[in-house]
Structure 1
Amino acid sequence: MTHYSILKLNKLALLFLLTANTAIAQYGYDSAYLMFPIRPGERNYLAGTMGEIRGTHFHAGIDIRTSGIEGLPVYAPADGYISRVKISTGGYGNALYMTHPNGLTTVYGHLKSFSKPLAEWVRAQQYAKESFDVELFPARNQFSYKKGEVFAASGNTGGSSGPHLHFEIRDQEQKILDPMRFHFKELIDEAPPLIRKVAFTTMDIKSRINGQFGRFEFDVTKEGDSFVMHTPLTFEGTIGVEIYAYDRFDGTWSKNGIPCIEVMLDDKKMFSQSITKLSFDEMRNVAVHMNYGEYLTSGQKFTKLWVDDGNWLKVYEAKDWQGMLKIRDSSDHKLEIRTWDSYNNYSYFKTTLSDKGKRSNATIKSLSKLRREGYEITGNVMELMNPNGVARQNVLLYSSGQAYELPPVYHVGANDLYLWDLRNGLPDSVDLCGTMQKYDFKAMVSPHHEYNYFDKDIDVAFNRYSLFDTLYLAVKDKQIENGREVFAIDNVLDPLRRSAKVTLKPLQLYDKEKSAVYSYSSKGNLGYVGGAWDKDGISFLTTSLGTWTVATDSVPPTIKPAVINKSECRLIIEDDLSGIKSWKGTIDGEWVLLNYEYKKKLLWTEKLDGSKPFDGEFVVVVTDNAGNQTVYKTKL
């Protein structure tokens, strides 16, 4: 063994000793209490970590890679008993919950199978309930396992995109703990986080970045021990900072979450986050923890390094201005962003900021960033652009019958930019030097209050928990596209905390038994939503605003036999529009369990008594979300 290898091993051993008791300090649990649940004693790799952003929620555990295969044995990490079993088409698929004597609960998702006694009991319960989807709560110690005993096999069931084991650790209150804090020796991580971009946002109408208003992104490069940017920045007013970064894990290219971030201004902590424990009722706050609009637009997950309005997460420390930056003098100021993972691998971003009088302004914004119809909204401020190429011209903005003359606040090339505080009134239109631009604003909706909007085409009902922050509701007039009635609420970039009720009022005639609401993409693609018809139209609950249509599905699902014999039956089922809702199988009228894997479009039988062959008429009924049914029959 080389001297370098010995030094590296000694370093890893020292790191393990220093961090082995992190779980005790963080949670009050001994790290050594749990063994690793899959391939213990071997090096393992992760595809996901606890707390990383997963679109509409934070990831609740770690995803352990299984080398692209299913069926690896899953071991009890400590003595415990199965306290909950959940079988579902989506989500965690086949999932087990194990309760341990010290109060911890460990969770295992996307499993292929369970140990024989447990599997037989679950199957008997499915037959008794005549349902594939079940949620079961075995008696205490009914299915007990010793530490290191195999109780399941890894798989790819439910909403999994590939074979892996989803593994969670929860405390006595069912709050999610970070498994990485238990520092399993099977996981080795010496790779620091990677910082890809930083972004800065003006937080009120008087604030500027290099003399401009809005949100600005910058690529960063690594120089020496730090990430840096080379665009000089001047700040005026109140500024919010964002970071696009992710953690790398040794031996894998997965983009994992970063649990810990600090923002330092002149060595003073302005903001910090530490995602080491989460509650399930906090999950939706991810929509204001990140820049939701940027995520929908570019797919990049920028983390806000301030506590935004409506963000109820308890993972932050922000004493002044909710973590936003304010520079009030002409001195240079040192900005540093520190990021680190659960193994204390650090990365730093460093730059220098000045006030407006210190540096000459550099043009930093592309006008294409005005993503809506010639305008953008940042907080409460609407930013307008004059597209006519006539510089230094005032424009007329109309709101509630009043005309307001707006001077340009700054210029980018030959284009003028204008700002309007939406709290002063919702614009009906603006005269951009002879070009009239109309807007669809209907109401300013405040959070924590109920609000109902009624219109000839669409109604919207917000409850007191629907909104994170003030919403400037923009409802478009109904359009006809490709013969379809299209209804749009132009607030797709604004997240909802809880659902709102939307009622569409179509004028075309529909078969109400077969017709439902569908999301409608810019390319005309449809996605089933549902809804209930009444005398006013069709209503549905939604946690995202956007564009919808009403469509009729009169085509039943298809059933194609793949394997049919007395030992097993396998069938491929598909539906082209509304999607599969339910399925049922019988043999001579007796219910038979049909497992369903939607990713493979596969149904397959599972006997209650494996020793008895199937015998009789096998009937499968598949129903889609529009109520269309297809029946398959054969003699076994």
Structure 2
Amino acid sequence: MRILVIVFLLCSEMLTAQVFTPAIYPKGYFRNPLAIPIDLSGNFGELRPNHYHMGLDLKTRQRENQPVHAAADGYVARIKIEPGGFGRALYINHPNGYTTLYAHLNDFNPQLEAWVKEQQYKQQSWRVFLEPPASLFPVKKGDFIAYSGNTGGSQAPHLHFEVRRTADDINLNPLLFGLPLTDNVPPRILRMGIYDRTKSIYEQSARIFPVKLTGGTRYVATPELITVTSPQISFAIGAFDTHTGSTNLNGIFESILYVDEQPAVGFQMDNISYNDTRYLNAHIDYRTKSGGGPWLQQLFDLPGYINSIYKNEKAQGGVIDLSDGGIHKIRIEVKDTYLNSSTLECRVQYKPGTASAVSTTSANNPMFYPLMLDGFEREDCEFYIGERCLYDSVHIRYNRSASASPQAVSAQHSIGASYIPLQEAFLVRIQPTKILTPTEQQRTVMLWTSGTKKDVQKVEWQNNWASARFRDFGTYQLLVDEEPPTIVPVGFTDGADLSKATRISFTIKDNYNKFKNVRPTLDGKWLRFTNDKGRTFIYRFDEYCPPGKHELTIYAEDEAGNATSKTFTFTR
């Protein structure tokens, strides 16, 4: 009888602790896409500015042009070339219902490269998104498909590798597919945060506690018994993971919070959609991070986090009720995909104290709520925050001041704060301080600034109000931009002899660093200039520029619609 009781208790504990059902993926189906051992510089779900990392970053020994191979049988389904983001990327669909993606590439294999070039000339665009027929480029597992590179948003040579479900394009954690990687290293826990959940997450500073390793993989908070003055609290964890033989600080896979040994809330980096990747800003302590502090991953679900990565068991949204005044044991478990784990323990107790001052709603400091459309209107400024803009309730401050810019045709309007993140863009409407001519209206942009950051958007006019949408709070004003962009040749002049050169290049400069519709033509025909990372436009001489004299004309526009064109002659 005693044996039966013990078995029952053990089984009950195992079932209780099973917050996440293990996903079952085909192990060994996908091979390492490189010919060198896997060494990670980034993993799935890792924390990045404004997004989760959606795949694996495979090191290429600090070099470009490592051969990249198809991870399994399939066919090339999509090809993407863009200045930022993936740079040059291939998507391969596989018969088992998954898609693999390979990004930041240099040249594709010769057959693919020739076809892509042909399509670029047909579309007269270097930036393309192509979907070849399934029968055009079949591949076998291990086939050479491209060379690794450093294109697009990459900061150093590496291969970005993803696995997605083909049917819905949801990204999955590639390490759950049994890729050849040795990992016997448990995650490391660095710190813990506690929050008062009776207040907005953006109207408080986290109480951050250091932790110490007590042996093995067990950490304890300092102090181990923590008193709080709010009856409702939530937790956050600062931790990182790595793998055997690596010194890179990668992201953790899973974390679960237990209250008195009962699972309360947890998150897991199993599958995330690109539609939801910006919700990272609802998963981290954004205020702490934006102020120069450390990454803290919240163990609670903000009300505006749609399709969240959290699972709640005993705590509603990850809010822990301590109103009974008792001492409660907290245990936070952190795991990687290979089930190496570490735990952090502490005890917490609610003791009523003096409540801190909370911002109150005023005419220029209204409260806005997630999942609600609301607006703010003044004589010459209005803004509207949509249902999916905010993650938590917060007061949005407004202030008006005169602009010092000679191009300004409105006052400056400060809205919100930089430590309040937005999921979707909100609408800002501003009325100019004078009547603008039709030409001035056509050249009007709205300037956003926040610290040293800035951006401009072309406005839309309605009844003498100019409107634009932005994804960040800050200061906004209207400017009339009548200065066209400048075309700057790099390493050549008009009439140059380029018979010994291998390429020709130029850059575009603009007073607000925003240009578009750049169109180069050679002897009246479109010519393919690359524009990796949105910097220099480069054309490498090929069959489209035979020996002889040529005329290169470059056209460019800025965000306000100012256009410029410049013609150069050269001999090839």
Match of 1:598 in 2: 533
Alpha-carbon offset, residue 59 of structure 1: 1.3
Match of 2:487 in 1: 558
Letter in 1 for 2:396: L
Provide the secondary structure at the position in 2 that maps to 1:452.
strand
Letter in 2 for 1:215: A
Q: Distance in 1 between matches of 2:454 and 2:482?
A: 11
**Residue number among 395, 409, 416 corresponding to 1:472 in the alignment:** 395
Letter in 1 for 2:504: R
Q: Distance in 2 between matches of 1:632 and 1:244?
A: 56
Contact 2:206 2:288 survives alignment (8 Å): no
Listed as ranges, the matches of 1:301-340 within 5 Å are 301-319=295-313, 320-340=315-335
Residues 12-34 of structure 1 deviation map (CA, whole Å, 9 limit, x = unaligned) = xxxxxxxxxxxxx9554422111
Letter in 2 for 1:545: F
Listed as ranges, the matches of 1:4-43 within 5 Å are 27-39=23-35, 42-43=36-37
Provide the secondary structure at the position in 2 that maps to 1:31.
coil
Alpha-carbon offset, residue 497 of structure 1: 2.7
Alpha-carbon offset, residue 75 of structure 1: 0.3
Contact 2:73 2:139 survives alignment (8 Å): yes
Q: Distance in 2 between matches of 1:205 and 1:568?
A: 62
**Residue number among 511, 516, 519 corresponding to 1:581 in the alignment:** 516
Q: Distance in 2 between matches of 1:257 and 1:267?
A: 25
Listed as ranges, the matches of 1:34-183 within 5 Å are 34-39=30-35, 42-172=36-166, 173-183=168-178
Q: 1:445 to 1:322 in 2, by over 3 A?
A: closer
Contact 1:202 1:214 survives alignment (8 Å): no
Q: Which runs of 5+ in 1 are unaligned?
A: 1-24, 207-212, 362-408, 411-416, 429-439
Q: 1:30 to 1:448 in 2, by over 3 A?
A: closer
1:489 and 2:415 matched: yes
Contact 2:32 2:38 survives alignment (8 Å): no
Alpha-carbon offset, residue 283 of structure 1: 2.2
Q: Distance in 1 between matches of 2:91 and 2:308?
A: 26
Listed as ranges, the matches of 1:419-434 within 5 Å are 419=358, 422=360, 426-427=361-362
Q: Distance in 1 between matches of 2:195 and 2:221?
A: 16
Letter in 2 for 1:572: F
Q: Distance in 2 between matches of 1:196 and 1:630?
A: 55
* Mean Cα deviation higher: 568-577 or 157-166: 568-577
Q: Which runs of 5+ in 2 are unaligned?
A: 1-20
* Mean Cα deviation higher: 44-53 or 475-484: 475-484
Alpha-carbon offset, residue 613 of structure 1: 4.5
Residues 419-468 of structure 1 deviation map (CA, whole Å, 9 limit, x = unaligned) = 46x4xxx146xxxxxxxxxxx31x33343343332212321123333333
Q: Distance in 1 between matches of 2:399 and 2:536?
A: 38
Provide the secondary structure at the position in 1 that maps to 2:185.
coil
Q: Which has the higher contact order (CA 8 A, sep 6+)?
A: 2
1:504 and 2:498 matched: no
Letter in 1 for 2:485: P
Figure out how many residues of one structure are paired with residues of the other and give that number.
Answer: 530
Listed as ranges, the matches of 1:50-449 within 5 Å are 50-172=44-166, 173-185=168-180, 187-204=181-198, 215-225=206-216, 226-231=218-223, 232-235=225-228, 236-319=230-313, 320-356=315-351, 409=354, 417-419=356-358, 422=360, 426-427=361-362, 440-441=364-365, 443-449=366-372
* Mean Cα deviation higher: 512-521 or 302-311: 512-521
* Mean Cα deviation higher: 49-58 or 443-452: 443-452
Alpha-carbon offset, residue 76 of structure 1: 0.7
Alpha-carbon offset, residue 611 of structure 1: 9.4
Letter in 2 for 1:528: V
Residues 588-625 of structure 1 deviation map (CA, whole Å, 9 limit, x = unaligned) = 11111111123652422464x47954753222233333
State TM-score, norm by structure 2. Answer: 0.85
Match of 1:540 in 2: 468
Q: Distance in 2 between matches of 1:542 and 1:280?
A: 20
State TM-score, norm by structure 1. Answer: 0.77
Letter in 2 for 1:587: L
Residues 234-289 of structure 1 deviation map (CA, whole Å, 9 limit, x = unaligned) = 13511111112222344444332112001112211111111111123322322211
Provide the secondary structure at the position in 2 that maps to 1:125.
helix
Match of 1:373 in 2: none
Contact 2:507 2:535 survives alignment (8 Å): no
Q: Distance in 2 between matches of 1:631 and 1:499?
A: 36
Give the root-mean-square deviation of aligned CA atoms.
2.8
Q: 1:193 to 1:505 in 2, by over 3 A?
A: farther
Q: 1:490 to 1:611 in 2, by over 3 A?
A: closer
Q: 1:315 to 1:450 in 2, by over 3 A?
A: closer
Contact 2:27 2:177 survives alignment (8 Å): yes
Letter in 2 for 1:337: I
Q: 1:586 to 1:163 in 2, by over 3 A?
A: same
Letter in 2 for 1:518: L
Match of 2:448 in 1: 519
Q: 1:630 to 1:267 in 2, by over 3 A?
A: same
Contact 1:45 1:64 survives alignment (8 Å): yes
Letter in 2 for 1:323: G
Q: Distance in 2 between matches of 1:67 and 1:553?
A: 48
Q: Distance in 1 between matches of 2:75 and 2:305?
A: 37
Contact 1:476 1:490 survives alignment (8 Å): no
Contact 2:485 2:511 survives alignment (8 Å): no
Match of 2:10 in 1: none
Contact 1:126 1:593 survives alignment (8 Å): yes
Q: Distance in 1 between matches of 2:199 and 2:372?
A: 26
Q: 1:278 to 1:294 in 2, by over 3 A?
A: same
Q: 1:90 to 1:616 in 2, by over 3 A?
A: same
Contact 1:170 1:177 survives alignment (8 Å): yes
* Mean Cα deviation higher: 555-564 or 496-505: 555-564
Letter in 2 for 1:310: G
Contact 1:595 1:606 survives alignment (8 Å): no
1:635 and 2:562 matched: no
Provide the secondary structure at the position in 2 that maps to 1:35.
coil
Alpha-carbon offset, residue 168 of structure 1: 0.3
Q: 1:263 to 1:447 in 2, by over 3 A?
A: closer
